[in-house]
Amino acid sequence: MRRSDQPTRELAIERLDGEHRADDRDRVVVENPLELRARGTPVATIMRTPGADLELVRGLLHAEGLAARAHQVDADAIELDLDPAAFAGRGLLASAACGVCGRVAIADLERRAREVRSDVVLPRQVLARMPAALRSAQSVFAATGGLHAAGLFTTDGVLVAAREDVGRHNAVDKVVGWALDAGLDPARHVLFLSGRAGYELVQKAVMLGVPVVASVSAPSSLAIELAERFGLALVGFVRENRANIYAHGWRIA
């Protein structure tokens, strides 16, 4: 896994366009963790696209009512001249604590999750129908235009659950909660997203055990690395008969 201080990275992908399938290259947005240290003590990790890190931290601290001198230790860490106790009880900053680099993030997930062993292969015609099916289930979005959605589909393309929320992570959590309560077999289902497929969303899919994650938008670099490691097909820009496959393309027929 190669860390980067650049906002984008070029990767090999497969492009689907109708019945045509070809190897290609694509640029994806980089998603890396940035660790905050208060006088040497790690206090939070922020998933972000590299660039303007000090501005990001200053803005985040300002929103929390905190002020501190900050300097960038390296590409992965910022040191704050602030008592670590100032972060006690601040769930906003303490969340998403997945380590100080992508390798640690994946190693942490490996302790809690297993590789998806499902033999599911999804026909591209089924995949192509999912954006419209999810969109038709977004009643609140239709009224407001302001929500993300996540849907759980069978491998035949039947939408079994759809949830909306202002936060895309929340929408996925709602679908996962429904699936756990329903007792269905996640290894025979597909998670479809209405927005960008970031690291944390793929992490949630890994924990659930679905073999395919697809989205109408782009994945991040770390999301792709997670999908590769844990056996998930990751598909982006699903629009009618077009799509980009970023990981485990054998799962898309």
DSSP code, position 252: B
- Residues 131, 91 share a domain: no
Rounded to 5°, angle at Cα 181 from 213 and 247 = 10
Is 197:219 a contact under the CB 8 Å cutoff? yes
- Residues 57, 17 share a domain: no
Which among 89, 110, 131 is the end of a domain?
A: 110
> The CATH number of the domain where 219 resides is what?
3.40.140.10
Among candidates 90, 112, 111, 1, which has minimal Cα distance to 46?
90
- Residues 189, 84 share a domain: no
Q: What is the Cα–Cα distance from 79 to 57, expressed in whole angstroms?
A: 10
- Residues 245, 156 share a domain: yes
Helix/strand/coil for 117: coil
In this model, does residue 4 exceed pLDDT 90? no
Q: Model confidence over 6-38: pLDDT tens digits? A: 888 899 999 999 889 999 999 998 888 888 999
Helix/strand/coil for 151: strand
Which of 34, 86, 98, 193 does the annotation list as catalytic? 98
Choose between 15 and 98: higher pLDDT: 15
Determine, yes or no, domain membership for 66: yes
Average pLDDT over residues 1-7: 65
- Residues 173, 238 share a domain: yes
Q: Model confidence over 198-238: pLDDT tens digits? A: 888 999 999 999 999 999 999 999 899 999 999 999 999 99
In this model, does residue 98 exceed pLDDT 50? no
Q: How confident is the model at residue 151 (pLDDT cuts 50, 70, 90)?
A: very high
- Residues 130, 71 share a domain: no
Q: Model confidence over 36-95: pLDDT tens digits? A: 999 999 888 888 888 888 988 888 888 678 889 999 999 889 999 999 998 887 654 433
Is 117:231 a contact under the CB 8 Å cutoff? yes
In this model, does residue 96 exceed pLDDT 50? no
- Residues 225, 132 share a domain: yes
Let me know if 98 is a catalytic residue: yes
In this model, does residue 106 exceed pLDDT 90? no
- Residues 145, 22 share a domain: yes
Which among 62, 91, 110 is the end of a domain?
A: 110
- Residues 194, 219 share a domain: yes
- Residues 120, 104 share a domain: no
- Residues 246, 193 share a domain: yes
Give me the number of domains the chain comprises: 2
Which among 70, 93, 110 is the end of a domain?
A: 110
Structural domain range at position 160: 8-28+114-251
Alpha helices in 116-189 (DSSP H): 124-136, 139-144, 168-182
